[in-house]
Amino acid sequence: MLEVVGVPVLADNYVWLMHDKASGETVVVDPAVDAAVLAAAASLGWRISQIWNTHWHDDHVAGNVGIKAATGCRIIAPDDPEHPIPGVDRIVGEGDRVGIGTFEGHVLSTPGHTRVHLAYHLPDVAILFTGDTLFALGCGRLFEGTPDQMFANMRRLAALPPETLIYCAHEYTQANARFAVTVEPGNAALMERVREIDTERAAGRPTVPTTIADERDTNPFLRASTVAEFASRRAAKDVFRG
């Protein structure tokens, strides 16, 4: 099996290290920085062999060049001509395959937060890296895409097996929860989850990964039934100050 470790950096980012013991390979997903990621890998005795990027934003790619220089790793990323990702060795998109050891990852196109955005799904081990598309109790702000695109992402990801572990790129869960309860105040599963989240954060523990099952039950964006309902919720979240 694969081991996944989160490296908290900046204000609220998670950089994910995924390690395959059999092959010795380690993939870094969305390195916002280089030094902290290299230090984390070194402390674990892991050799970084690849970087997988989901989109071009600096807090997902700023560590690319430094990590590549230190390790010689290969960088896999989407093709975004308007915002070229630094250090790329291989461009991937919808339907492509990536790998770590004998484990295969499926590349999913999930535009909306940015014009070009990817997620990486490893179905054999029920792991999904969503970048800034799907968060615990939230979804990415629509900087370059449309509600139609993001709603389609929500439907597609919701259809994945319920046990799928979602590794998103930010610790936004507590803030997302405050908005979620305004949308579905009568959702008992949500209220229980909010209590659990508050307990975890008070103890300084992460709320990620989450699961597809939990998001189906409690995430107001994944639970939107139409594009119009999704768009209304996304617009409300954009101005929410709770």
Please identify which of the residues 19, 117, 121, 170 carries the catalytic annotation: 170
Those residues with Cβ within 8 angstroms of residue 209's Cβ, 6 or more apart along the chain or in another chain = 4, 165, 166, 167, 168
- 132 catalytic, yes or no? yes
Single out the residue of 103, 154, 151 nearest to residue 130, CA to CA.
154
Please identify which of the residues 19, 30, 57, 80 carries the catalytic annotation: 57
Please identify which of the residues 20, 30, 60, 214 carries the catalytic annotation: 60
Please identify which of the residues 19, 113, 117, 121 carries the catalytic annotation: 113
> CA-CA distance, 49 to 91, in Å (whole number)?
16
CB of 8 within 8 A of CB of 206?
yes
- 117 catalytic, yes or no? no
Please identify which of the residues 20, 30, 34, 59 carries the catalytic annotation: 59
Place of tokens 């290290």: 17
- 60 catalytic, yes or no? yes
The DSSP symbol for 114 reads S
Single out the residue of 77, 81, 87, 90 nearest to residue 34, CA to CA.
87
CB of 76 within 8 A of CB of 92?
yes
- 170 catalytic, yes or no? yes
Burial letters 20-45, b for 16+ CB under 10 A, else e = beeeebbbbbbbbbbebbbebbeeee
Please identify which of the residues 20, 30, 34, 55 carries the catalytic annotation: 55
- 106 catalytic, yes or no? no
- 96 catalytic, yes or no? no
- 59 catalytic, yes or no? yes
Indicate which residues carry an active-site annotation. Answer: 55, 57, 59-60, 113, 132, 170
